[in-house]
């Protein structure tokens, strides 16, 4: 693929990820008010968030395997169509069960979009370009999730249903644009791989334990567990402990997200080339754990803003680093690897908020302390594995960087 086509493809993939994560974020500020129409509250709110991640967990491995066999473009477009329709269904709902259907379909669509986009990036980039490509996709994810909540809150003042209709319509437009513009890239499979029967989810998960990148998948799970723990707890923590208004909370979240996006776009590839992805992961796991502990003890708006920003920047750096490493280890199974990556991410996103809510009932500080312990444990596991099994990851020059 020529450099011109490669840049075009990356631009479309970034747009698709931005729209997907923007649609996820757009729901956050609107959902509590929207649920009042149905006469339900916190319990339904939590399960609606969880069912999205559950659908991603179920279908990400399927998306990866199918795209390995039949190419990426078809499944990206299909995912965008399902995702767009699901958002419209959610906005048109008149019963609670329709809300669950809409969120489940959203998770289904997102699984096919996110998994296949990451595999597509791996297909069109060389090993040397991989970090930059994954960094751009990561920046699109972060930017979408950062802008989505603010846009959702603003659009809800026009009409409570409007944010969902807009998210759905934009997703359908992105599907049409991808159909017209996105080059169709087929993965390079050998004949043996082509005729391997498709595995069920459980078998794929079991096989992931035997892959050379299994420890990195554990990092994916742990990182997403920790960051979703932090994000789901932060708003309530700041409200209960410091009596922050929604405006102050939005500033804390937005500034951190914006800083992460800017750094990810301009320096992440340089960090990968200078230090290697594993060092970036290890350092930022430590930063994330330390900042979670500091949140328990600090006070003052600007101090809290600084600590929260450091945590979010650490998360933004870890995401493309693990995506890049997994794709480097995956060889001809980019779709399978991306599917497992997304499945482990979804598990973390399911378990993290649910457990954080339970721990928060005991004490405001416990979710942060527990999250820090989990992240430190992951740091120790990743460091030990690297030293014993993959010491070359600590020396990027070995890989020709």
Q: Domains of the chain: which residue ranges?
A: 1-183, 198-400
Alpha-helical regions (H) of 243-276: 246-266, 268-275
| pLDDT of residue 192 exceeding 60 | no
SS3 77: helix
Those residues whose C-beta lies under 8 Å from the C-beta of residue 308, and which sit 6 or more positions away, are 234, 252, 253, 255, 256, 291, 295
Where are the alpha helices (H) located in 37-158, listed in sequence order?
Answer: 42-70, 73-92, 96-124, 127-156
When the candidates are 3.90.1150.10, 1.20.1250.20, 3.40.50.2300, 3.20.20.70, the CATH number that belongs to 1-183 is 1.20.1250.20
Q: Could you give the percent of the chain with pLDDT greater than 70?
A: 91
Four-point Cα dihedral 19, 216, 221, 253, nearest 10: -50
Q: Which of 52, 8, 41 is nearest to 228 (CA)?
A: 52
Task: Kindly calculate the radius of gyration of the chain based on its CA atoms and give it in whole angstroms.
Answer: 20
The arithmetic mean of pLDDT across residues 353-376, rounded, is 83
Closest CA to 393 of 266, 224, 219: 219
At residue 145, the pLDDT reads 76
pLDDT of residue 189: 53
Kindly tell me if the per-residue pLDDT of 216 is higher than 80. Answer: yes
Inform me whether the pLDDT recorded for 41 exceeds 90.
no
**pLDDT, average across residues 318-338:** 86
The two domains 1-183 and 198-400 share their CATH topology (first three levels equal): yes
DSSP label at 401?
-
Among 394, 383, 313, 367, CA closest to 139:
313
Considering 24-33, 52-61, 109-118, 127-136, the range whose residues carry the highest mean pLDDT is 109-118
Res 195 pLDDT > 50: no
Buried residues in 71-103 as b, exposed as e (16+ CB within 10 A): bbbebbbbbbbbbbbbbbbbbebeeeeebbbbb
Residue 184: pLDDT above 70?
yes
What gap in Å lies between CA 328 and CA 334, rounded to an integer?
A: 9
Query: For the residues 322-336, what does the mean pLDDT come to?
Result: 85
Instruction: Give the pLDDT mean for 205-220.
Output: 89
**Of 148, 124, 132, residue with least CA distance to 17:** 148
**Two tokens at 388?**
């014993």
Task: Give the rounded distance of the alpha carbon of 36 from its chain centre.
Answer: 28
CATH superfamily of the domain spanning 198-400: MFS general substrate transporter like domains (1.20.1250.20)
Query: How far from each other are the two terminal CA atoms of the chain, in whole angstroms?
Result: 22
For the chain, how many residues are written?
Answer: 401
Give the pLDDT mean for 77-87.
Answer: 97
- Say what the pLDDT of residue 400 is: 40
Among 283, 282, 309, 304, residue whose Cα is nearest residue 294: 304
Of 33-42, 292-301, 336-345, the range with the highest mean pLDDT is: 292-301
Letter string b/e over residues 32-50, b meaning 16 or more CB atoms within 10 A of that residue's CB:
eebbeeeeeeeebeebbbb
- Flag whether pLDDT at 177 surpasses 50: yes
Question: Does pLDDT of 199 surpass 70?
Answer: no
């Amino acid at each position: 693929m020529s450099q011109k086509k490669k840049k075009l493809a990356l631009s479309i993939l970034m747009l698709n990820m931005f729209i997907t994560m923007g649609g996820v974020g757009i729901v956050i500020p609107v959902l509590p008010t929207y649920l009042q129409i149905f006469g339900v509250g916190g319990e339904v709110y939590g399960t609606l968030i969880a069912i999205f991640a559950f659908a991603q967990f179920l279908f990400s491995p399927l998306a990866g395997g199918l795209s390995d066999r039949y190419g990426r473009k078809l499944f990206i477009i299909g995912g965008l169509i399902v995702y767009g329709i699901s958002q419209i269904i959610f906005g048109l709902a008149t019963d609670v069960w329709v809300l669950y259907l809409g969120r489940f379909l959203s998770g289904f669509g997102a699984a096919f979009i996110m998994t296949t986009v990451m595999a597509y990036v791996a297909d069109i980039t060389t090993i040397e370009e991989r970090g930059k490509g994954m960094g751009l996709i990561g920046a699109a994810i972060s930017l979408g999730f950062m802008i989505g909540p603010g846009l959702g809150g603003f659009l809800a003042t026009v009409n409570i249903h409007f944010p969902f209709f807009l998210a759905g319509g934009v997703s359908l437009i992105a599907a049409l644009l991808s159909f017209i513009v996105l080059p169709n890239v087929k993965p390079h499979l050998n004949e043996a791989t082509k005729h391997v029967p498709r595995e069920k989810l459980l078998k794929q998960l079991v096989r992931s334990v035997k892959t050379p990148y299994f420890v990195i998948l554990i990092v994916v799970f742990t990182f997403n567990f920790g960051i979703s723990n932090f994000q789901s707890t932060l708003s309530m923590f700041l409200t209960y402990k410091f009596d922050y208004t929604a405006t102050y909370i939005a500033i804390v979240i937005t500034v951190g997200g914006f800083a992460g996006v800017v750094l990810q776009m301009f320096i992440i590839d340089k960090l990968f080339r200078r230090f290697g992805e594993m060092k970036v992961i290890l350092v930022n796991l430590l930063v994330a754990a330390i900042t979670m502990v500091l949140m328990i003890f600090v006070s003052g708006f600007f101090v809290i803003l600084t600590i929260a920003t450091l945590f979010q920047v650490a998360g933004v750096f870890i995401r493309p680093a693990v995506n890049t490493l997994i794709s480097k280890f995956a060889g001809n199974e980019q779709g399978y690897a991306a599917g497992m990556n997304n499945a482990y991410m979804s598990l973390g996103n399911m378990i993290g908020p649910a457990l954080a809510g339970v721990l928060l009932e005991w004490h405001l500080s416990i979710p942060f302390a527990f999250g820090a312990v989990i992240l430190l444990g992951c740091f120790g596991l990743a460091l030990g594995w690297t030293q014993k099994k993959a010491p070359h990851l600590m020396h990027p020059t070995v890989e020709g960087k």
